[in-house]
């Protein structure tokens, strides 16, 4: 068997492993069931890729993230390592061929979504494969208490039955203690090797600033630290708005969101990665697989939905070991906005039942039918037909997807392409006999200068506005132009595809996942509240709050976050012993938040911060996962 360090050098060009990597790899190679908790940027993928390359056979990787699967497969193929991913949208015959290739074609990695494990064909072929390792990526998805819980992850236990002698490695970047226990239980680990790297980032200063003018604060931070930065925002519109604002202030910037084409994403990513642009303004679609070491600041312009997602996004800063900053900008309206965005749009069980019934009716699926049928899907038309809120309906479809009732394959809009295939003089001769097309054609020519030379992506909404016609009328004209061989036209008719995984049983189908829906809604509420508690708690070191949330013990103030810096400035005029005594007496009656304490004690906030910090340092009190305080001995 080849030594892991040789594999690392040959394929990845590194000469040494990161902290814990080598010990993890050796445990996996030795056939141990292994749990790996490494924060973002810790190098989790190598922990299963190198053991798989060291042993004969194929590694099966379970992952819920199609984009990440494709990226990892592409990266492996680029290194000359045979890998493939099997996702949705593949026909039965294609699936049959791909699985045969895994059995006979010397492939080293097969990436699967958890839903694929439900198919008998997949199970049968895996029995025939020489499997050397089972890797479960994003393992927190198997726990009902983890963010992004996916019931299909329970199917992974089938792999243990199909390949009982093969060990499993489970990997995640963020999991609270109860989630870790749940993962180990669900995957039927026996005497597992557990590797948990501390979440402490000693070079990272966590900052929360209350700002009425967030734009001005962005400008001052980015002009002070003129190195690589990421700004996370809530929606696609803001990515462009903030990027444009920064450019107007002579701060080079680009943007990234899920609606951009692959070419636009790659171009903007390259400009930022190569430091041609200082700032990347992005939605949370940006980040998977990002490992740029010189990022100096990550700024959250809007509040994240959870501590888990915040910690992961903040973790993309300072990977070169130099001092770096994770900043949240907040104002008085943020709490309401984050609740509206993440809590008010949680679908109830009854609403899910309603959407599911209408979805089946929309595609005329009979009761007991529909299993593995795929349909083109116009989301906006569906919402208008049944008068559904688009946001609430979209979240319901995502929920049905996560729970393996359907598969939703999203295809972004604006995929209409056209090219004029006759000369400009011939075109104007044509318009003389089709004068009612003139305004539309002229609008297209003014908006898309290269449309005679190459196939061009066109925006129907913008054209219809410019030509003052409806999109329906515009579509008819384009189709006529195509029929008359004036243009070539590729007219996108849908924005998604839906595959029904289960046969239609109406309420019975949803009743099976009702408890999961309710539990996940409660979890989301808990996560949002924990995030709000974090930004509102101005008494305890930011790093301590985050580490406590993830269950770490014996933690100390970081001396570099916004709270620690503020507390250093203050000089306590009051008798700290008196405040200490009053806090202890108050906590003897139960846990209290910093707001409860200050309202009861009626002391200065700066004094309270200093005393709370002292009590924490001396282990007289502790902070709970919900950012309240309690006496250490209770």
**In CATH, what number is assigned to the domain containing residue 510?**
1.10.10.10
| Residue 11 DSSP code | I
Q: What are phi and psi of 327, to 5 degrees?
A: -115, 135
Q: CA–CA separation, 157 vs 546, rounded Å?
A: 32
CB 564 within 8 A of CB 557: yes
My answer on whether 350 and 322 are in the same domain is no
Closest CA to 311 of 611, 552, 90, 47: 552
Q: What is the DSSP string of 520-547?
A: HHHHHHHHHHHHHHHHH--SS-HHHHHH
Residue 463 to residues 45, 414, 440, 444, 615, Cα–Cα distance (Å): 45, 12, 7, 7, 65
526 found inside a domain? no
My answer on whether 427 and 399 are in the same domain is no
My answer on whether 515 and 391 are in the same domain is yes
* pLDDT value, residue 413: 46
My answer on whether 514 and 614 are in the same domain is no
* pLDDT value, residue 513: 92
Q: What is the DSSP string of 253-281?
A: EEEE-TTS-HHHHHHHHHHHHTTSSSEEE
My answer on whether 162 and 22 are in the same domain is yes
- Kindly give the pairing relationship between strand 168-172 and strand 34-37: parallel
Number of H helices, E strands in the chain: 27, 21
* pLDDT value, residue 569: 65
147 found inside a domain? yes
528 found inside a domain? no
Q: Is 377 helix (H, G, I), strand (E, B) or coil?
A: strand
Overall number of domains in the chain: 5
My answer on whether 389 and 511 are in the same domain is yes
530 found inside a domain? no
My answer on whether 407 and 451 are in the same domain is no
Q: CA–CA separation, 27 vs 47, rounded Å?
A: 10
My answer on whether 408 and 442 are in the same domain is no
* Phi-psi map region of 176: left, alpha, beta (phi>0 left; psi -120 to 50 alpha): beta
Q: What are phi and psi of 395, to 5 degrees?
A: -65, -35
Query: How buried is residue 491: exposed, middle or buried, by Cβ count under 10 Å (0-12/13-18/19+)?
Result: middle
| Residue 139 DSSP code | G
Q: CA–CA separation, 378 vs 359, rounded Å?
A: 11
Q: CA–CA separation, 563 vs 569, rounded Å?
A: 10
My answer on whether 311 and 430 are in the same domain is no
CB 218 within 8 A of CB 58: no
CB 395 within 8 A of CB 347: yes
My answer on whether 210 and 258 are in the same domain is yes
DSSP H helical segments within 172-301, as ranges? 177-186, 214-224, 236-248, 262-273
CB 537 within 8 A of CB 548: no
241 found inside a domain? yes
Q: What are phi and psi of 274, to 5 degrees?
A: -90, 10
Neighbours of 193 (CB within 10 A): 18
My answer on whether 600 and 584 are in the same domain is yes
Closest CA to 293 of 253, 268, 324: 324
**The domain spanning residue 329 has which CATH number?**
3.40.50.300
* pLDDT value, residue 145: 80
Domain stop point among 337, 355, 370: 337
Strand ranges (E), 258-391:
279-282, 297-300, 324-330, 373-377
252 found inside a domain? yes
Q: Does the reported pTM lie above 0.75?
A: no
462 found inside a domain? yes
Neighbours of 240 (CB within 10 A): 13
Domain stop point among 310, 337, 364: 337
What range does the domain containing 95 cover? Answer: 4-196
Domain stop point among 312, 337, 362: 337
pLDDT less than 50: residues of the chain: 412-414, 571
Q: Is 496 helix (H, G, I), strand (E, B) or coil?
A: strand
Instruction: Give buried/exposed letters for 39-73 (b at 16+ CB in 10 A, else e).
Output: bbbbbbbbbbbbbbbbbeebbbbbbbbbebbeebb
- Kindly report, residue by residue over 455-513, the tens digit of the pLDDT: 888 888 788 888 888 877 888 899 999 999 999 988 765 667 888 988 999 999 999 99
My answer on whether 71 and 165 are in the same domain is yes
84 found inside a domain? yes
- Radius of gyration in angstroms for the set of CA atoms belonging to the chain, rounded to a whole number: 28
CB 286 within 8 A of CB 259: no
66 Cβ contact list (under 8 Å, min separation 6): 85, 87, 88, 113
């Amino acid at each position: 068997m080849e030594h892991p360090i040789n594999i690392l050098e040959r394929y990845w060009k590194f000469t040494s492993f990161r902290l814990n990597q080598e010990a993890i790899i050796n445990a996996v190679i030795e056939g141990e069931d292994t749990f790996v908790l490494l924060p973002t940027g810790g190098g989790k993928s190598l922990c299963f890729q190198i053991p798989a390359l060291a042993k004969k056979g194929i590694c099966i990787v379970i992952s819920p993230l199609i984009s990440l699967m494709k990226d990892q497969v592409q990266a492996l193929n680029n290194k000359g390592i045979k890998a493939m991913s099997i996702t949705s949208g593949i026909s039965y015959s294609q699936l049959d061929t791909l699985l045969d290739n895994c059995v006979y074609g010397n492939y080293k990695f097969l990436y699967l979504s958890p839903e694929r494990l439900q198919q008998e064909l997949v199970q049968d072929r895996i029995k025939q494969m020489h499997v050397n390792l089972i890797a479960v990526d994003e393992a927190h998805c198997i726990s009902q208490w983890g963010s992004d819980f996916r019931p299909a992850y329970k199917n992974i236990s089938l792999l243990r039955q199909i390949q009982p002698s093969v060990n499993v490695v489970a990997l995640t970047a963020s999991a609270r203690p109860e989630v870790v226990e749940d993962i180990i239980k669900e995957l039927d680990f026996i005497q597992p090797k557990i590797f948990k790297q501390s979440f402490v980032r000693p070079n990272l200063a966590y900052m929360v600033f209350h700002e009425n003018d967030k734009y001005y604060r962005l400008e001052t931070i980015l002009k002070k630290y003129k190195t690589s930065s990421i700004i996370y925002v809530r929606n696609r519109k803001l990515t462009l708005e903030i990027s444009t604002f920064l450019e107007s202030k002579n701060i080079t910037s680009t943007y990234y969101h899920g609606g951009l084409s692959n070419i636009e994403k790659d171009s903007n990513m390259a400009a930022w990665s190569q430091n041609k642009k200082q700032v990347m303004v992005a939605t949370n679609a940006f980040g998977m697989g990002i490992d740029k070491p010189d990022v100096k600041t990550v700024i959250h312009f809007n509040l994240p939905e959870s501590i888990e997602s915040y910690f992961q996004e903040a973790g993309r800063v300072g990977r070169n070991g130099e001092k770096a900053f994770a900043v949240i900008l907040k104002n008085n309206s943020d709490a309401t906005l984050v609740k509206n965005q993440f809590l008010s749009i949680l679908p109830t069980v009854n609403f899910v039942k309603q959407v599911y019934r209408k979805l089946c009716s929309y595609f005329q699926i009979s009761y007991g039918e529909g299993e593995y049928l795929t349909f083109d899907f116009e989301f906006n038309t569906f919402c208008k037909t049944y008068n559904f809120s688009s946001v609430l309906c979209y979240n319901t479809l995502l929920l049905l997807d996560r729970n393996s009732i359907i598969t939703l394959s999203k295809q972004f809009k604006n995929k209409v392409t056209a090219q004029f295939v006759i000369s400009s003089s011939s075109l104007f001769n044509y318009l003389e006999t089709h004068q009612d097309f003139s305004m539309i054609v002229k609008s297209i020519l003014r908006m898309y200068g290269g449309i005679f030379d190459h196939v061009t992506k066109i925006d129907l909404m913008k054209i219809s506005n410019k030509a003052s016609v409806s999109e329906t009328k515009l579509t008819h004209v384009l189709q006529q132009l195509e029929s008359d061989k004036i243009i070539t036209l590729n007219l996108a008719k849908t924005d998604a595809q839906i595959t029904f995984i289960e046969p239609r049983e109406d309420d019975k189908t949803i009743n099976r996942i009702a408890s999961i829906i309710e539990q996940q809604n409660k979890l989301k509420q808990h996560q949002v509240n924990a995030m709000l508690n974090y930004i509102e708690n101005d008494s305890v070191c930011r790093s301590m709050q985050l580490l406590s949330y993830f269950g770490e013990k014996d933690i100390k103030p970081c001396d570099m976050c916004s709270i620690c810096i503020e507390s250093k400035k203050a000089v306590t005029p009051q008798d700290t012993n008196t405040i200490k005594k009053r806090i202890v007496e108050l906590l003897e009656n139960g846990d209290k938040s910093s707001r409860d304490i200050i309202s009861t004690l009626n002391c200065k906030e700066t004094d309270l911060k200093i005393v709370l910090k002292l009590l924490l340092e001396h282990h007289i009190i502790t902070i709970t996962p919900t950012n309240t305080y309690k006496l250490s001995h209770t």
